[in-house]
Structure 1
Amino acid sequence: MTDSQAPEKTGTDDTTGTNPLAPAPAGARTAADVVTPELVAQLTKGVVGSGRTANHTPFTGEKLADLPESTPEDVATAFERARAAQIAWGATPVRQRAAVLLRFHDLVLARQAEVLDLIQLETGKARLHAHEEVQAVAVAARHYGRKAPAYLKPKRHAGAMPTLTRVTELRHPRGSWARSPLGTTRWSCRSATRCPPSSRATPSS
């Protein structure tokens, strides 16, 4: 194409072949408003990670934060810490542990707008689908908060010789356990706070 055939400049960049984003409405919260350095520091406090990895939002590819990245050695250290913490947690009366879950339920609902923002930014989900995850966490926390005492109480069973023997089923904390890092809020929140053993993600997370 010669200079005489070149398209005339209009003062705006050519966006052919791209997917330009419309400007955010006035007063809308941006990713920087939601994912603040203070929030990242609070959420990653105590995470054992010797490396760093960047987290980006699928909406725009914008960088959200630098997060800790764990090696297998880091995970082993995290498990040791979890095992030590679980001893005190396992010795806590079940009704106190259940109360923690009920308090967690209340906090999830009270701060659900913040949680919804984070889910959307990290996963690219629609608000409705992000809301389903929040509700699933709240429902699970409330269920175990109310039912844990019944689930974990000693249960009587018939002995091998009725009237002469008696069997009682007792539940004991299982300690730390690993789970698949599927990255959903539902499993992350529920696994980290429910009454049974403490949990940690595997290195691939």
Structure 2
Amino acid sequence: MKKFDVSILSVAVLLTGLAVLGVYQAGEAEKDPVLVKAGDTSITQYQLYDEMKTMYGKQMIHELVAQSLISQEAKAQNVTVTKEEMDKEIASMKEQVGSEEAFKNYLQSMGMTEQKLREKLTVLMTRDKLLDKAFPVTDEQIKKYYDENKQQMGSPAPEFEKVRDQIKSVLTDKNRSENYNNWLNEIQQTHKVEWYDPSFDDPAQPVTG
């Protein structure tokens, strides 16, 4: 089981903050509550939002768009993540960090609950299911990989059937990585994404997730 992506979960926490702060607009000072008093200076909620937008805004909005597209495409294709699959993933994560207590401490350090983690993982696992459906690993690919790399797998080389599942896992990750950006850009066109703030739309940077 591959390690979970800490960076994605970190962004997920920031996304929540930006989404909440995004309701505040410039020029609405009377609706801009003070968050901190620093001597004779007030730091307002809009100031915080403005800084977050400048530093993280483009990455965050692309993450939110990606999550929305994945959800819509999964619904269109009737792709879901079952409770059993999610429970298995959570159990694997707990095993990786070492203990139930370490897992709870990790979530606390991220400012997340297990329920929120499950929501974020649902998006990532759904994304992977969609990619695997669009770009399945074939028996021919697996056999070709074995033939080209078996000398590096040990001496003597292991029997094909004994490493077949491992090779499939490697190729699955490779397929996802190589095809993700193009695939997401295609469903972006399918679901007609419109950018109302042109500062967020960057044709050179695909929507990421």
> Smaller-chain TM-score range?
under 0.3
RCO greater where, 1 or 2, for CA within 8 Å and sep 6 or more? 2
TM-score (ref. length: structure 2):
0.27
The answer to which structure has the higher strand fraction is 1
TM-score (ref. length: structure 1):
0.27
Larger radius of gyration: 1
